[in-house]
Structures are given as structure tokens and as C-alpha cells.
Structure 1
Amino acid sequence: MSGDEPARGPVVAIVDDDTELRESIASLLTENGFVPVPVADSTGFFTASAMNSLDLALVDLRLQGESGLTLAIHIRERLALPIVMLTGRGDETDKIIGLETGADDYIMKPFNPRELVARLRAVLRRSGYSGLSIPDRSQSQIRSFGHFRLDQSRRELIGPDGAEIALTNAEYRMLEYFLRNPDRVIPRTDLLRELGSDHSQYMDRTVDVLIMRLRRKIEPVPSKPVHLQTRRGQGYIFMTTI
């Protein structure tokens, strides 16, 4: 690339047989600095991969007439390319199989546009992509509590030492929800509803597990939480200051 050419964003193949959704995702990615390559099927994908230097494949699990899982396996066999699967609400088993066959992440339809962009960026970072243009943290959407910062643009939790603390998608969503609703008691039914769009099979026990995991990551003494506190018989309250 010559010095006069503008920097190119990551090239993302969008494999989806729904024309309207494919074009909508392409527009979203273009607005956020990506270079979308929308195709309808595996034939279109491999034709595009021969003509473009792809950085990531976004693949619909339920391609008409073929399996997105099969395409993911073929991509893994032929190309060193990170893969994110788009899945429907009833595809729990296939999501697990998809991750086992090489998908780096999945996202449920219908999805939040900002979340899709953030998840693609996160997968690209983890895969070692070096040309990703992301706003500086000073310009990002930051929510702070105690000595921690949650960077919503990068979907990162930054600890007191400035290092990232790894969060699962469910942990991130729960923490973000608490930070959007600080200093008020939140019933567990509200937490289940918040997680329900992407985790429809969650039960009460799962909330307890997520609370326990978050406390291990953000509390000096998890058994004596100062941020994520329990209000017995009512729910939970998140205190941003200590």
C-alpha cells in the first residue's frame, strides 16, 4: 500500500442468505470502519476469498440449502480465518457444535448493532489483527466503579493496574447492566430478563453463578462484596463508590 492510500479497515465476509439482513449488516460495518464483503452462500464465500484478503468470516448458522457449520469447517480447513456465527433462538445445540468446530464466537439474532461491532472487534484483537482502528480509551464510553473501568466501546474491564480482566459475554452484559442501574436494588427477575435475549435457557441458579464469578473478578474479598451486594429477599444492588 502506498503512502497516498487511505488505511483500510478489516475485511469481513458476511455469509447470509437473507438479502435484507446481509445488506443491513454490510451498512453497519461500513459505518464502523470495516470493509464488508456480503455473499449469499459458501460458493460466494470462496469466490470472494479468492478475490479479497479476508480478515474474518461472519456466517449464518442456518444457510438455506446448506449448513453454516459445514462452511465453518471448510473455512477452518482452507483458511486461517476467525469465524463468528450468527444463530437463531432455537440453535443452542448447534451453537455448541459450532464453537467446537472452530467458531471463535457466536451472536444471537436479533442482535444489538453496537454489540455485534464490539464482538467482531474483540475476535479480531484476539486473533492478532493489528490494523484495527478503535477509539482511544480516553474517547471511549467509560463507566467507572472503585478502581475499575468498564470500556463499553471495547467491551473491556480494566483493573486497578491498567490490565484487562477477561469477562465472558454473560458476565460483561450483567456488569454493564448493573453499571447502567447503580445504587438501586435489582430483582433477579430483572437480571434474567436482561440476559434472556441471548440466554433464554438461563435459570435462577445461573444468575447466582454469574454473580459469584463477577465478585471474584471485581471484589477484593468476594465473600464480603463492597460493589455487588446482596439484599436478601429483594435482589442485588451495585455500589459504584467504596
Structure 2
Amino acid sequence: KILDLSNNSLSSLAPGAFQKLRYLQVLNLTRNMIHYIENKTFSFLPHLKELDLSSNSIIRLPETFGNSTGNITLLSVKHNKLQKMERVLLESLPNLKVVLFKDNPWQCNCNVFGLKLWLESFLYRGGISDGIICSAPGIRKGKDLLTVPYELFGACPLRTAHFHLHHHSSEHRSSLKHPHHSEHGENSRSNCEPKPKPRPVSLRHAIATVVITGVVCGIVCLMMLAAAVYGCAYAAITAKYHREHLAPVREHGTPEEKEPFDSSLA
């Protein structure tokens, strides 16, 4: 159930090295000289729960450890030479509870954006981790990957950035079926390339709001203009009426005003 291979100067592991150890639960490979782990190295270990790969010289991890490694609860890759880690590998370990990343030269660029998203989700679900400290680029050296703003990954290729919106299971399955093709694609797109920013969906609502507001304001202005024209016309008609009908009366006087004058002469 427990196999301790630490301090043995191992430089590589054959894919079928552990094929007969079906009841193995704890595998310790610390303090060796392992440079990389091949795909499915730990296949046929359905009961494996703890895998310690720390203190080696590992520069690359595969997209999967094996067909039956879903029961791993602890994974340690600290004190290695890892610059990135595939999110697909971590997602193939659904029962993972503890993962240790300490002391690796992590490159905090587009290649670790998926790892950042996975780690946030992992910690939210109650997982335990010692965090990822950036070694490069220089402006992010010494910073925790979780504190790097999402905006700094805005220029990453859509293949990496799409994890922020949706997880496409079809692409996931395709990468598992064609690991060599996926690995070649990663190398060809290792650098971040500027991409045009997509038009926000909310912009359409903003434009509609502006149009509706403009129409309403136009109607109100027309009503105010009509009221002003009506008021001016009414004032003009009233003034004309006063000039035509009241002015003569004021000049000659009314019958009531003249009658007392005539009676006094009589």
C-alpha cells in the first residue's frame, strides 16, 4: 500500500513501472532526478491517494497521470522546475483535496491562465494549496498568481481565455484523445497575441436606452414648441382684439358716461 522511492537518483519512470501494484495507496518519489513524467505513468493504480513528486527536476507534467488515478487526494509538485501546468491534468483528479506548488519558476503569462481559474475554483470548494508565486515576467515576480488581475490576461489567445466564460467539454475530450496534437498547439501559441476585444453584450442595451431617451426627449420638445406657438398666437389675437374694439370706446366714451353730462345741461 505504501512505496517509498525517495533519495534513489531516479531520472525517469517507465510507463508500466507500477502496473502490478494495484493496491498501492501512497507513492513517494521525492528527492530524485526525474525530469519529466510521461502520459499514463501511473495507470492501473486505482487506489492511489497520495502522490509526492517534490524535490525533483521536473520541467513538464502530462495531461493525465493514468486511466485510474481519479482517487488521488494529495499531489505535491513543489521544489521542481515547472513553469506551467495543464488545467486538464488537475481536472482529471476530481477527488483532489491538497495540492502543493511551492518553489517552482512559474511563468505568469497566458500559459497559466487556466491554472489560475482552476485554483480559484479549487480553493472555493474548500481545497488546500500553498499557492503559486510568479517568477516571471519581471513585473509580476514574487506576486501570488491569484492576485494578478484578469485584465492582464486580456490579450491571451481565445483558446486560453475561453475558460473564463465557458468550459467546452468537446475541446477537453479532443485534447485527451490527441495529446500530441494539443501539445504541439500549445508550443505554437506559447506567446500572448493581441486579440480584438469583443463587443460587450450590454452595449446593445445602452444604445437602445439612448435611442428611446432621445425619442422621448424629442416628443417633449415638440410638445413644448407647440405650447409656445399656441401661447404666442393667443397673445397676438388678444392684443389685436383690444386694439380694434376697446380703443374707439375709450376715445368717444360710453353712453353711460355721457348721459349725466347731458342731463345736467337740461
Give TM-score, length-normalised by structure 2. Answer: 0.24
Higher strand share: 1
Greater gyration radius: 2
Higher relative contact order (CA 8 A, sep 6+): 1
Higher helix share: 2
Give TM-score, length-normalised by structure 1. Answer: 0.26
